[in-house]
Structures are given as structure tokens and as C-alpha cells.
Amino acid sequence: MELQHFIHKHPLIINEFPRKMTAMENFLFEFYKDMPSCTGCGEAIMGSCICCRQCSFRLHNSCAKLPRELQLPIHDKHPLVLQEKTYHDEGTYKCNHCNLVCQHFFYHCTLCKFVLAVKCASSLQSILEVEIHDHPLALFQGINSFTCDFCGKKGEDMSCLCALCGIWFHRKCAFLPHMVKHFRHKHPLILTKSLKTDQSEDRLCQFCVKKLDTNYGIYYCSSCDYAAHLDCAMDEVARELIFNWESKDEEPIESSTKVGEDKIEIPIKIKHFSHEHDLKLTDQLENYEICDGCIRPIFPPFYKCAECSFFLHKSCVELPHEKQHPLHKHMLTLSSTRPMLALCDACKLLTNGFTYQCRKCKTFELDVSCSLIPEKLTHVGHKHSLILSSTTLDENCSACNYKMKIFRCTKGEFTLDFGCATLPLTVKHRQHEHLFSLRYTAEDNSGEYYCDICEEERDSKLWFYYCDECSFPAHPKCIFGEFLNSKYRDCRNIKFGSTYYKSNIHRHPLTLARKTMDHDSCDKCGKFCNEVAYECATCNSIIQVEGLPNCETSLMDYAVTEKETLWEYIGQPALPRALRMRGLN
């Protein structure tokens, strides 16, 4: 059966391959395994085809059915006519979509000189109805250089075109969902084409705290006037489909109460989950004491143990059993790490106080101070508000120069990490009679600044502690106590002298102590313990237990090693070096 195709002068027949090939075709096939190709698209022909008996013209069945004329949104002024490239056309026709010279069939507008390769023309017949634009978009499968009209960024990948408006979009922008839920905001965020406000130039993304161009697409909550970059809102780790703010009804406290004059019940004696003895509410503060929950100075009202030196702020007693934090997508549960130390994932400081732990992934925990910081805060050390940045890479803190998760200033380049954001405004040093106050700028214009504890030079740009009565400046690390091995930041979140009456590591009560090189050697190995250890007054010895930290593995290292083991167990990558080694950058 013979066919006549409008683009070829000879009659064509339907044939199955292999057929009797020409001498040249046979040579190419035998020596180069080169299959005959389609004249229309250039691809190899493996099965049934339309071919010419008189020449090497052959077409796939699909290419033989290509329409003579085609009307596409990309060029809707005139119809495009199918043509075959001839010997004389070499290099003449260049596709306006893929920017390549047409080697096979192409569609051509003789009036506008508009050219489309047949493959590009096929891809452009995909018409999309999308959220971000009022008109249908044509999908381009090839590579194209353009600027996306929705996000304002350059693109050199798959794109979509609105032929009516003549504007281009990234394919990923065209398919953005109308609404997303991010765990850092309580309401859904709606895809918005632009936000016309008087303060648009000063608008910041609430996640990464970087400038937000509201002339382009954003995700926005109109109820809270809360805006975010498209990429930040669509972050796969933080984005969620279902979110539950309700916490469990568990209560970690047993209490006896009295009714006050305002008819509100006040717990006066409680049994707290973190301690063996009863605690009693008091307003009488006799000495400088540290809270065993948040490891900060005690202030009235607080709960006190009559049998030992255990103290809790009233606010720490009332901490919620569960809470959500902007650094983690799962619900966190209040826990006491006693008697072991824990490593906070926000400030990277070790603590023996309360922590909020993730029971789902078991690798994330926060100390109390970091858990209480909101994602937007105002600090007395800086005049502008600060917003927690969601960027994955740690950045240098302006107050200490450590590289951490940071809060970014909404007006300038100032950054603040969790460790500095939670520094106590006043603090007591064990060898100084007065309180030290946190300072944010140099104490004078002398140009020479030293720490009066270690007698080493201070960086005048960094925060420090200062005794006004004695004109006595000091590094924060010298106030709180610096680890001798310089591996960890400082001891600010460790309460030394804490006694643990019940533990699974020793039969007698244990006291957490900071050791120096002049203390007694380890009762088990005869060497000096690594700075932080347990002491047993009953045995008059330093306790080392198999499987727990010893002279070669410090108590501080154990908290990190335990977390690394969990990460390896669940198949996650190794923890970053910053989690294991602390130091200035």
C-alpha cells in the first residue's frame, strides 16, 4: 500500500524493520551498529516505519502524522508550517526555543521568521492551568535562559510561557502549592503574587531574616502580617501537612495547695518528677543559689528542698510538660538528665539541668533557657529586634564570634547566637565579692582591654562581664569557668555541687564536681580525671564506672558520644564537627 506525504515527492510504503537495506545502510549497521534514523526527528527507527523505496527518506509512524500547520501559544499571530531541512538550508534555521540549528523537520513562520524544531513544538503543546497566573501556560521541555516573572530569579532550566502576556516562569514556580504549613508559624501560609505595602523595602523573611522583595511571589499570612521567601516556606524539613498544637495532659508534679485571697490555688509543697525529696515554696533567699532546672541564679519565689541543696524557680516548676520549638519540627518533652550531662543543640553548651528532648528522633534536645527564647526577641544589648534565622549554615555571632545558629537583626548586620541571648544579665563569681553585670560595649576609650581574671587581652567588640564597684572586666568564659582542654565553650550551664541520691551508676550519693590537676587521682585507674567527675563522700573517691566516662573519656565527651551513637543507629550522617569541637573562628 502506497502513501503520499505532503513533505516528500516520492510515494511511501509501510514497512517493518529490518528490511532490505541499501549498501550504505548495511555497511553502517554491520560495522558501527548504526540503526537507520527518522528523517523527521533524527531518532533511531526500531520498528514499523513509513519509508521511501527510491531514497533514504523514512519516518516514525508518529512523525508521519505531524500536522502540516500548527497554532501554538508561543506564536499565536500566524500558523507555523512544517518543513524539511534540505542540503541548501544548512545552518539557516535556528530554533527560537532551544536556540539550536534545526537538523530535521521544523515548523516555520515565513512572515515572522519564527522557527521551532519539531521536538520543541511537541513539548509546547502541553498547556497548564496554574495557581500563579491567570492564563494557561505552555510547558517548555528544553533548556531556556529567562527571568522568572513570579520569583524574579534567573532560570536556565525547564520553563513555562504565557503567550498572551509574553512572560516566563520557572516550572517549579508554576507548580507551587496554593497553601503550605510551616512548623514555625501557627497559621497556613498562602501563595501571594505580590504584596504592595508602604514598608515593602524594609520587609524581611520571617524564617531566614533576609530581605524580602514583595514585588514578587511570597508565602504570606494576612492574619499576622507574616511573610516568607518561597524557598524558605517550602523547605522540606520544616514544611508539614498536619500540625497539632495540643499537648498531652500529663503533669509531672504532685502538689498540695492552699487557696489564696484571689481564690487561686497556690502549690506550697510539691513532689517534682526530677527530685527525690519534697519541695516547699519560699520567698526567703539566704545565699546566692542556682536553680537546678535552668541553671540560673535563684530569685523569689522559688521551691527549696529541706534535705539538700536543690532549688527550682517557681517558673521552672510550672514549665509545660511538652512544647514546640522553632528549631525542631517534632514536639519536645521536658526531661531531667540527672545525673548525666546533656548537650543543647541550640547553644552547644553542656548542662545538668532540665532539657526538652525529642522522643521521636531521640537526637535533639534543648536546655531550658534556649527553649524559652521566642523566634523574635528584643535584647537589651541591641536596639533593634532580632529574628531567628532558618539558614542551615551556622554564622558568626557578633557578641562572641562563635559560629552558631543565630538571630539576625531586622535593620542591620548584627547577629546573636543562643548562648549569648541566654547570658544572665548579672552573675556571681566564686572568687569575687560583688556581682558582675553583662556589658555590650567597651568600658572606656583606652584602646587596651584585658580580662582581669586570666589577664589576657579582650576583643573590645565582644560582650563581657564587668564589676562596677571594682572596675573589674572579665571574659564570660572566665566568669563561668573554662574547660582546660578548650574543647567546650564554658561551664555556665553546669551546676557543680549537685548531689544525686539515686542513680544507676553507684550505690551511694554522688556529687558533681569540677576537678583540677591538684586533686586526688582516680580511685580506679590512678590517673587524674578529666575536669568533671562524680565524687562519692562515703567511699572518699572519684567514681569511675565501666561504660561511663573515665580518665580517657571525659564526662563532657560522653554526652556528645552518646548523641553520635544515636545518629549512627538511625542511619543519619555523622554529627558536624561544630557539635564536637568548640572554638573561635
Q: pLDDT tens for residues 475-525?
A: 999 998 876 654 667 888 888 887 776 666 667 777 877 765 555 555 555
Q: Starting at the edge strand that comes first in sequence, how are the strands of the sheet with 279-282 ordered?
A: 253-259, 265-272, 279-282, 302-305, 311-313
**Overall average pLDDT of the 102-130 stretch:** 79
- pLDDT, tens digit, for every residue of 262-317? 556 667 888 888 888 889 988 888 888 889 999 988 888 889 988 888 899 988 88
Share of the chain above pLDDT 70, in %: 72
More reliable by pLDDT, 513 or 17: 513
> Which region among 14-18, 102-106, 215-219, 356-360 has the lowest average model confidence (pLDDT)?
14-18
More reliable by pLDDT, 94 or 89: 94
CA distance 475 to 466: 9
Most confident region among 34-43, 66-75, 219-228, 346-355 by mean pLDDT: 346-355
- The pLDDT score that the predictor gives to residue 8 is 86
125 pLDDT band, cuts 50/70/90, is low
- The pLDDT score that the predictor gives to residue 541 is 66
- The pLDDT score that the predictor gives to residue 578 is 34
Buried b (16+ CB within 10 A) or exposed e, 457-492: ebeeebbbbebeeeebbbbbbbbbbbbeeebbbbbb
531 pLDDT band, cuts 50/70/90, is low
Q: How buried is 248 (Cβ within 10 angstroms: 0-12 exposed, 13-18 middle, 19+ buried)?
A: exposed
**Overall average pLDDT of the 31-48 stretch:** 70
18 pLDDT band, cuts 50/70/90, is very low
Q: Starting at the edge strand that comes first in sequence, how are the strands of the sheet with 435-439 ordered?
A: 426-428, 435-439, 464-467, 472-474
Count CA within 13 A, CB hemisphere, residue 519: 18
